[in-house]
């Protein structure tokens, strides 16, 4: 391999990128835009659940129950209604996700120490959010019931019983349980995979469409030199994207980076080589920019978004799908990113994922080089 020819190809590709503002914008601006859009719009936190209350009892006790919901940070009181028709309208129109109905006589039953019930209506069209909101509501009701029981014992002059079991939870790595702290590292992998494959998926196909591939074939440049020379500029741009994404995560989204920055960029480099080579392989077999673009989107975005563990936990997937996820390289990179960002671990902990990521990069480089032939047909 000649370093002179390699640098000539890389320099040619650098000049093409610099002279084409659209390619440069796609390489730098689009990843930043996607990170901002996904970072702010995509959240799995369920709080400030919209709530309407129909207090049929209208006593101090019933108002106390309603205030427990309205005062919780998990619920946001939108309106107090006066009949079931208004409750149904609020849920149908998405004004509220939860409706609390306190029946007549609720205060009297509580004052007499007898069992009392409230009705909770939940919009189950979004089952995940509804399940979480139901858990919040049960926690509020249980806390209220415990307070009522303690007050009854105190009024009777008895001794408040001690709780036999006390739970003291301690959350490791993401103490605030904020979804952005693990979504942003996953977004870095998602964006890198898509952009890297899209950028290089157009390189060889563009040469064929413009008729310049014949000129390259007639030169002494060898296949590996051409492939590697075209990868170098996009590898540099990819590392710049990683740097910008890390800075945005740190200063814009305030996501803690507890691990080694050097390890982060090292693993990102390995992943970039594989993703760029995948795009190059697609470009070689497609020979058409439109087709290469479409194949790259299907081969990168869908598997990375659905099967990498970025949005959906892999252990919750059906067993056959779990097996398929092992061939999705973003699965290992996302696991590495989350471990570096949230846990602050070293290479010894993520060694297996790193090895599989390196295997992916090696396989894609070999495939791209073997597939490319210096001939017209």
Per-residue pLDDT tens digits for 162-208: 666 777 888 888 877 788 888 888 888 888 887 777 777 777 777 77
Looking at the predicted structure, is the pLDDT value of residue 352 above 90? yes
Considering 102, 121, 155, which residue would you say is the last residue of a domain? 155
Q: Same domain, yes or no, for 229 and 313? A: yes
Which of 31-45, 60-74, 123-137, 266-280 shows the lowest mean pLDDT across its residues?
31-45
The answer as to whether 82 is a domain residue is yes
Res 157: pLDDT: 67
CA distances from 95 to 84, 89, 100, 127, 354 (A): 15, 8, 14, 17, 47
Q: How confident is the model over 140-148, as a mean pLDDT?
A: 86
Looking at the predicted structure, is the pLDDT value of residue 219 above 60? yes
Q: Same domain, yes or no, for 244 and 194? A: yes
Q: Same domain, yes or no, for 229 and 96? A: no
pLDDT tier, 296 (very low <50, low <70, confident <90, very high otherwise)? confident
Q: Same domain, yes or no, for 216 and 197? A: yes
- Check: CB of residue 245 under 8 Å from CB of residue 195: no
Considering 155, 187, 216, which residue would you say is the last residue of a domain? 155
Closest of 182, 149, 144, 181 to residue 163, by C-alpha: 149
Distance CA 83, CA 99 (A): 11
The answer as to whether 255 is a domain residue is yes
65-112: pLDDT as tens digits: 999 998 888 899 999 998 889 999 999 988 999 999 999 998 888 888
Q: Which comes out higher in pLDDT, residue 164 or 143?
A: 143
The answer as to whether 173 is a domain residue is no
Q: What total of structural domains would you count in the chain?
A: 2
The answer as to whether 170 is a domain residue is no
Closest of 54, 101, 97, 52 to residue 78, by C-alpha: 52
Res 264: pLDDT: 94
In whole angstroms, what separates CA 112 from the centre of its chain?
Answer: 50
Considering 121, 155, 189, which residue would you say is the last residue of a domain? 155
Beta strands in the chain (DSSP E): 49-55, 75-80, 98-102, 119-122
Q: Same domain, yes or no, for 65 and 130? A: yes
Q: Which comes out higher in pLDDT, residue 339 or 190?
A: 339
What is the 3-state composition of the chain as percent helix, strand, coil, each rounded to the nearest 5? 65, 5, 30
Q: Same domain, yes or no, for 57 and 27? A: no
Sequence-distant (6+) residues with CB within 8 A of 128 are none
The answer as to whether 348 is a domain residue is yes
Sequence-distant (6+) residues with CB within 8 A of 344 are 258, 259
Q: Same domain, yes or no, for 92 and 230? A: no
Q: Same domain, yes or no, for 231 and 320? A: yes
Q: Same domain, yes or no, for 214 and 317? A: yes
6-26: pLDDT as tens digits: 888 888 888 877 777 777 777
pTM (predicted TM-score) = 0.80
Q: Same domain, yes or no, for 183 and 325? A: yes
Q: Same domain, yes or no, for 287 and 199? A: yes
Q: What residue numbers bound the domain in which 80 lies?
A: 49-155
pLDDT tier, 316 (very low <50, low <70, confident <90, very high otherwise)? confident
Res 158: pLDDT: 61
The answer as to whether 128 is a domain residue is yes
Q: What whole-number percentage of the chain has pLDDT above 90?
A: 30
Q: Same domain, yes or no, for 271 and 315? A: yes
If one counts every other C-beta atom within 10 angstroms of the C-beta of residue 237, the result is: 23
Q: What's the CATH number where 58 sits? A: 3.40.1710.10
The mean pLDDT value of the chain amounts to 85
The answer as to whether 268 is a domain residue is yes
pLDDT tier, 267 (very low <50, low <70, confident <90, very high otherwise)? very high
pLDDT tier, 159 (very low <50, low <70, confident <90, very high otherwise)? low
């Amino acid at each position: 391999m000649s370093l002179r020819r390699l640098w000539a190809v890389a320099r040619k590709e650098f000049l093409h990128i610099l002279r084409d503002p659209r390619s440069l914008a796609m390489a730098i601006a689009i990843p930043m835009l996607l990170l901002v859009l996904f970072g702010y719009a995509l959240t799995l936190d369920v709080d400030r659940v919209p709530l309407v209350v129909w207090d049929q009892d209208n006593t101090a006790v019933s108002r106390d129950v309603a205030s427990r919901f309205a005062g919780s940070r998990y619920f946001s009181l939108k309106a107090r209604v006066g009949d079931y028709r208004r409750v149904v309208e609020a849920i149908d129109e998405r004004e509220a996700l939860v409706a609390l109905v306190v029946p007549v006589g609720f205060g009297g039953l509580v004052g007499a120490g007898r069992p009392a019930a409230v009705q909770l209506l939940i919009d189950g069209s979004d089952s995940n959010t509804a399940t979480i909101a139901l858990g919040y509501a049960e926690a509020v009701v249980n806390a209220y019931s415990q307070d009522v029981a303690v007050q009854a014992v105190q009024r009777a002059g008895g001794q408040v019983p001690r709780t036999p079991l006390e739970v003291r939870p301690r959350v490791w790595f993401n103490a605030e349980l904020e979804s952005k702290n693990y979504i942003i590292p996953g977004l870095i992998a998602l964006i890198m995979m898509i952009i890297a494959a899209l950028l290089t998926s157009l390189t060889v196909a563009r040469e064929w469409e413009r008729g310049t591939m014949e000129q390259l074939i007639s030169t002494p440049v060898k296949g590996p030199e051409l492939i590697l020379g075209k990868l170098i500029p996009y590898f540099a741009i990819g590392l710049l994207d990683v740097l910008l994404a890390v800075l945005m995560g740190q200063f814009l989204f305030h996501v803690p980076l507890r691990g080694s920055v050097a390890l982060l960029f090292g693993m990102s480099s390995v992943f970039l080589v594989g993703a760029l080579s995948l795009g190059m392989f697609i470009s070689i077999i497609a020979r058409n920019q439109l087709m290469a673009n479409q194949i790259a989107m299907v081969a990168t975005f869908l598997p990375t978004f659905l099967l990498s563990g970025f949005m959906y936990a892999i252990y919750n997937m059906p067993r056959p799908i779990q097996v398929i996820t092992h061939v999705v390289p973003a699965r290992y990179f996302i696991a590495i990113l989350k471990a570096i960002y949230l846990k602050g671990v070293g290479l010894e902990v993520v060694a297996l994922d790193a090895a599989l990521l390196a295997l992916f990069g090696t396989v894609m480089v070999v495939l791209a080089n073997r597939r490319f032939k210096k001939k017209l047909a």
